[in-house]
Structure 1
Amino acid sequence: MSRPREFDVDKVLSQSMEVFWTKGYKATSFEDLTNKTNVKKQSLYGVFEDKRSLFLKALALYRTQSLSQLREMIDQGGSPTRILDALQSASLCSSSEEAHRGCLMVNSAMEFGMDDREVANEFELMFSEVRLVLEEVIRNGQAGGEITNRFTSQELAAYLANTLRGIRILEKTGAPADQIEMVLNTAFDLIKN
């Protein structure tokens, strides 16, 4: 008869995600994970199998949380340009510590490249979903004359999604906040009428 689990799996997954986000996959040891979660290695293995499985679940959690925040911003309503303004504002990191962590998905994409198909699938899925959400907002803005029609909603969504990924790289590499803000201002202003 197996013993009942003595920890909150969701909480441990969230804490593990924070460790991977801060340190990266390869630099994270099981000791880092057990120290953060206060769960023994054997218990973590019992639920998550191994570090890689835990990492993949952490990436999926990050994707779900990020997309949920994006959807929440859109569901608050307002015109497409107001939604984009809110997204632009939310894209500015509030602290240098937050900025230097970057984005877990972008960090993972840079760490793994396309070498690990399951990891690549996670960030491809996230970037695709973000692009589709942006495309919906842009299409609505184009229909209302708020956003330029010089490019398709797909092209503009891909452009903004790439800009948002790019600023996370700038943040991670220590670019000044005013440079990041300038990139965001330019990207968002270029698509508005």
Structure 2
Amino acid sequence: MGRHREFRLDDALDAALQVFWSKGYEGTSFTDLVNATNVARPGLYSAFGNKEALFYKVLDRYQDRHLRFMSDALELPTASEVIKATLYGCAKIQTQPSNPKGCLVVNSAIVSSDEGEAIRYELAKRRDQCESALKARLQRAKTAGDLDEDYKPADLARYVMTVVQGMSIQAKAGASRKQLLAVADFSLRGLSASLTV
């Protein structure tokens, strides 16, 4: 009979999430993960595989636990509410006192090593999925007359995601929630002519 694991997978994933979120993918070593999870290297390999495999599991956990507000935002009735909820939600999660600052995906986005090519691709794919979902929602808003005819949903979605990613970089650099919410409000004022308020 095999030995029982002496750690909870959920606890180890939560600890790994905090490390990756704080240091990014390339900035996190396997030693960092061993120290954070209090699980010996063989135990982590056995449970999750290598660093890359563990990071994919962490990305899924991050999306399920911390980015759910984005899915909820897409269900709001107007384009204005969708964009406001997206920007405000990002400002809040990126400055949550109990978590590292910024966004896990953005913090990990700068992968320069050849070994990180798969990670770079995965992060780009997830960003594209998020932007595509927002674009589709804004296209529905345009069809419903809730978005100015001159606005292209693809351009507006890209703009919103660019603001979100910039806010993440600012949060990582120490910007406060109040400062990020001011950025969100400024962006919303700039869009007010094209959105139904």
* TM-score normalised by length of structure 2: 0.79
Unaligned segments of structure 2, at least 5 residues: none
Superposition RMSD on alpha carbons, in Å? 2.8
Amino acid of the residue matched to residue 134 of structure 1?
L
Residue 139 (structure 1) aligns with: 139
- Regions of 4+ moved over 6 Å: none
Q: Does structure 1 conserve the Cα–Cα contact (< 8 Å) formed by 2:70 and 2:89?
A: no
Residue 166 (structure 1) aligns with: 166
**1:67-107 superposed Cα distances (whole Å, 9 cap, x missing partner):** 543213334x4333223322232122374746862111101
Unaligned segments of structure 1, at least 5 residues: none
| TM alignment of 1:1-193, pairs within 5 A | 1-66=1-66, 68-75=68-75, 77-93=76-92, 95=95, 97=97, 101-110=101-110, 112-113=111-112, 115=114, 116-175=116-175, 177=177, 179-189=179-189, 190=191, 191-193=194-196
Say which structure, 1 or 2, has more relative contact order (CA 8 Å, 6+ apart): 2
> Number of residue pairs matched?
191
Q: Distance in 2 between matches of 1:165 and 1:114?
A: 22
Relative distance call for 1:81 and 1:114 in structure 2 (3 A) is farther
Q: Secondary structure at the match of 1:24?
A: helix
Higher mean C-alpha displacement, 59-68 vs 116-125: 59-68
Q: Distance in 1 between matches of 2:3 and 2:100?
A: 40
Q: Distance in 2 between matches of 1:177 and 1:134?
A: 23
Q: Distance in 1 between matches of 2:14 and 2:99?
A: 19
Q: Secondary structure at the match of 1:93?
A: helix
* TM-score normalised by length of structure 1: 0.80
Q: Distance in 2 between matches of 1:176 and 1:72?
A: 24
Q: Secondary structure at the match of 1:92?
A: helix
Amino acid of the residue matched to residue 192 of structure 1?
L
Amino acid of the residue matched to residue 123 of structure 2?
F
Relative distance call for 1:9 and 1:99 in structure 2 (3 A) is closer
**1:119-178 superposed Cα distances (whole Å, 9 cap, x missing partner):** 112211211111122112212322333322222111111111111111111111224555
Q: Distance in 2 between matches of 1:178 and 1:85?
A: 15
